[in-house]
Amino acid sequence: MKALRILGIALGLALTLLAAGVGLLYALFDGEKIKAEVSRAVLEQKQRKLDISGKLELSVWPDVGIRLGRLTLSEPGGKEEFLALDSARVAVAVMPLLSKQVQVQRVEVAGLKAMLVKRKDGTLNIADLIGGNPDKPGSAKPAPGGAAAPVQIDIAGISVANAQLTWRDEKGGATTTLSNLDLGSGRVQADSGRQTLVIDALSLAAKGKTGADSFELKLEVPRLSISPDKSAGETLSLTAKLAGSGRNVDARLVLSTVEGSAKALKIGKLALDLDAKVGESVLKAHLDSPVAADLAAQTVALERLAGAIDLANPRMPMKQIKLPLSGSLRADLAKQSAALDLGTRFDESNIALKLKLAKFAPLALGFDLDIDQLNVDKYLPPKAKEEKAAPEGKLDFSALKGLDVNGAIRIGSLQVSKLKLAKLNAKLNLAGGRLDVSPLSVNLYEGAASGSLSLNATGNSVALKQNLTGISINPLMKDLADKDLLDGRGTVMLDLNTRGDSVTAMKKALAGNASLSLKDGAIKGINLAQSLRDLKGKLGTASGKREDTTQQAKAGDKTDFSELTASLKISNGVAHNDDLAMKSPFLRLSGAGDIDIGGGQMNYVAKASVVGSSAGQGGKELDQLKGLTVPVRVTGPFENLAYKIEFGSLVSDIAKAKVEEKKEEVKAKLEDKARDKLKGLFGK
């Protein structure tokens, strides 16, 4: 009984002392003084205005905690608000205080609002709060002695409710807002000196907006433990939803079976699932791989990537395509570099892609793309038939700015916009807003092409140089422009440049030079042999008015040639030619005129001369026209060219020819008479 009485006295004494201590703590606690001192220190050290308008309250059971009400913190200089919160409470365990240890039990924050800003000079508006120099991007102040002091965190639980974070990039003009942000966790222990981290029951949920798109995020981490000797974790999951104009995206990332140490982590499986809808297109994708991460070296490797992409669109000819994927990914975060090898096969195409990132920001990308065969037209929806022509779209090359990309493309066979190409080889270099494709070589239409192509964001300009040899011109023109104007095989040389914000503007600004040399072909739409035979019939009539005759281009009509050459000088969308030379067994053709590419019009005068051969396309029947030049004017829009034989000019030439012929005949007769007289005079 005596022992129990002594224990009761001791316990009572302890409670009395504890009550006295609590009373003393309340008596000494001066919330207004603390608020004033903290505000003064923040203003002196950070030049920020801290305003704590709510009460600063103290509680001592079941834990010692401090609660404060409304609080705002300004930007440096005190002009704009940087941070605000409705209330906050920090609680510490009571018993460890007796051993002079501070263990945070709970951190509770409600109604937090903060604005993070990246200024135009690259500095952050929080640089002064995290130890950096606000006047120098990326700088940090070292701790005394040159080494940063270890950071130790031991929090039994964290609760953040209804927070809002806004990120604004003043240089890029982008703003992203996270709202309705709720964060909760169990115990969080970290020691930077020992390189340990323990997290229990971490959950985060947020809604946000970036531009016109809204999104939702949710993170769940049941338990994660990282230490130098051993690390382990349960399944971690991150889900994201994006909703915008005409598009919705759902994504889920799961990491399972985490093990290893603080220096090296292994994740048994990383799985990414994507479900997206953009307009009428539905995309589903799945990727998974084991992961090896070296935290000390900051490297990550996904050596066995596998998965598939499934794309469906009711407007595609095949409605749906599925792409199996396999490859690997390696990233070095310290060096800001990464390498991706990816292979796939869909339909009849085998595709191999290699990507190398030399730098994440600004982006420096290298790539190598190899495709054995690809028919792009097969996977594009048919063009809709519209009663009225749709407004012409704008061309904008500004997306080329700020990128550093170089690579190579090889395609065994390719069809795009009806063009049929083979053995395409191209090297690309993109820097300073300029894309250069050089060399660019390809086999096409029984021949080959080589040259270069460049696009420049400055001025929205394009330059093309190509040398096409052995080309069959007719199928090329049919597939490229749906025009059946010319036949033959030979050489085409192009040196062109233009600029503008639309296809029409670029046609009107086209400039440069071009040349053409063809053999064994034909001019489509007119049969000059038949037209000249008709002309011969008119010349044979005794009388009648001889007028110019006009005929529209006719499918099936053609004028054969053995050789055709021409060169073009192009300025402001108009191509001028004055050296056309065409040869056939009975005909020679020259010409001069303009082809208005920008306006889709043609005004050209070709001059056909009949030669002495009776071979070829009706040549025997045209002997009467031998030596005469027949003018043929080609005019009208490309879709409906008209051929006009200028008969009046021809009759005038014939009359002149007859006068000259008569003069020659009289002269010949006089010369004959003179010779006869001389013979008689000399008796010979």
Burial 34-54 (b: 16+ CB within 10 A, else e): ebeeebeebeeeeebbbbbeb
- For β-strands 558-571 and 264-278, DSSP reports them as unpaired
pLDDT of residue 381: 65
Crossing angle of helices 528-539/647-682, nearest 10°? 60
Span of 224-238, 436-450, 486-500, 638-652 with lowest mean pLDDT: 638-652
In this predicted structure, the answer to whether residue 7 has a pLDDT above a threshold of 80 is no
More confident site: 664 or 626: 626
Q: Average pLDDT of 419-446?
A: 92
Which tokens hold the place of 623?
A: 């002997």
Cα–Cα dist 552/643, whole Å = 6
Residue 529 scores a pLDDT above 80: no
623: pLDDT confidence band, cut at 50, 70 and 90?
Answer: low
Q: Which band of pLDDT confidence, cut at 50, 70 and 90, is reported for residue 637?
A: confident
Query: Which of 17-31, 49-63, 251-265 has the least mean pLDDT?
Result: 17-31
Whether residue 6 is predicted with pLDDT greater than 50 in this model: the reply is no
For residues 609 and 629, give the distance between their C-alpha atoms in angstroms, rounded to a whole number: 4
For residue 79, what are the CA distances in angstroms to 51, 82, 470, 525?
Answer: 13, 9, 73, 77
Per-residue model confidence (pLDDT) at position 96 = 63
Local structure of residue 507 (DSSP, 8 states): H
Cα–Cα distance, 539 to 63 (Å, whole number): 120
Residue 282 token pair: 């539905």
Query: What SS3 state is found at 234?
Result: coil
What pLDDT band is residue 95 in, cutting at 50, 70 and 90? Answer: low
CA–CA dist 440, 465 (Å, integer): 10
- Tell me whether the omega of the peptide bond preceding residue 222 falls within 30 degrees of 0, making it cis: no
Other C-beta atoms closer than 10 Å to the C-beta of 459 total: 10
515: confidence class by pLDDT, cuts 50, 70, 90: very high
What is the Cα–Cα distance from 309 to 273, expressed in whole angstroms?
10
Write the pLDDT tens digit of every residue in 315-354: 777 788 888 999 999 999 888 889 999 999 887 889 999 9
Comparing 618 with 81, the larger pLDDT belongs to 81
Give the span between the Cα atoms of 339 and 360, in whole angstroms: 12
pTM of the predicted protein model: 0.65
Beta carbons of 627 and 609 less than 8 angstroms apart: yes
Cα distance between residue 291 and residue 301, in whole Å: 6
Q: pLDDT tens, 204-248?
A: 888 877 777 888 889 898 888 888 788 788 888 999 998 887 788
Per DSSP, 154 falls in state: E
What pLDDT is recorded for position 318?
79
Which tens digit of pLDDT belongs to each residue from 22-36? Answer: 444 444 456 677 788
Mean pLDDT in the chain?
79
Residue 597 bridge partners (DSSP): none
Beta strand extents in 279-319 (DSSP E only): 281-294, 299-312
Q: Report yes or no: 502 and 393 within 8 Å, Cβ to Cβ.
A: yes
For residue 271, CA distances in Å to 242, 293, 297 come to 19, 16, 24
Q: State yes or no: pLDDT of 551 exceeds 60.
A: no
Both tokens of 312, joined, read 């469906």
- Token pair of 256, please? 């399972």
What 3-state class would DSSP assign to 680?
helix
Give backbone dihedrals phi and psi of 448, rounded to 5 degrees, phi first: -145, 155
Residue given tokens 């609590």 in the structure block: 22
Q: Which two tokens stand for residue 219?
A: 């993170």
Mean pLDDT for 32-56 is: 83
- Band of pLDDT at residue 413, cut at 50, 70 and 90: very high
CA 647 to CA 652: how far, in whole Å?
9
Residue 119 has what pLDDT?
86
Q: Which helix (H) or strand (E) holds 654?
A: helix 647-682
Residue 600's pLDDT band, with cuts at 50, 70 and 90, is confident
For residues 459 and 676, the model is more confident at 459
